[in-house]
Amino acid sequence: NAGVTQTPKFRVLKTGQSMTLLCAQDMNHEYMYWYRQDPGMGLRLIHYSVGEGTTAKGEVPDGYNVSRLKKQNFLLGLESAAPSQTSVYFCASRGSSGNTIYFGEGSWLTVV
């Protein structure tokens, strides 16, 4: 049981480049989340999904897009990366009747 897996773990992008972060969970969870973590600001919710084919905006959605084509995968896309998007990104998942959120190990993204 791998839990929540994020790829890639580290990436350096140039301003204006695009990339996709992949989150995969093998627990058949309904809910999936993407957060970013910046020093002194905790985790801020970017987008989330309550089931396959659904997505919703969180606290800081601008500059990001997401897709949930398969229940086990939640993709986070940056169409035109900006230095302000340098951050650590965490994916998480939760079952619909569960009270425990499972986190991935994080993806460190630097935009230069």
Partner 1 sequence: GEDVEQSLFLSVREGDSSVINCTYTDSSSTYLYWYKQEPGAGLQLLTYIFSNMDMKQDQRLTVLLNKKDKHLSLRIADTQTGDSAIYFCAETGSSASKIIFGSGTRLSIRP
Using CB under 8 A, list all residues that contact partner 1.
31, 33, 35, 40-45, 48, 50, 56, 58-59, 90, 92, 94, 99-101, 103-106
CA distance 55 to 100: 20
Q: Which of 13, 92 has the CB closer to partner 1?
A: 92
Q: How far is the CB of 17 from partner 1 (least distance, A)?
A: 25
Q: Which of 58, 63 has the CB closer to partner 1?
A: 58
Structure tokens, 84 = 């302000």
Q: How far is the CB of 31 from partner 1 (least distance, A)?
A: 6
User: Residue 71 to residues 44, 53, 79, 102: CA-CA distances in angstroms?
Assistant: 23, 8, 23, 15
Query: If we measure between CA atoms, which residue out of 82, 33, 30 comes closest to residue 51?
Result: 30
Q: Which of 76, 104 has the CB closer to partner 1?
A: 104
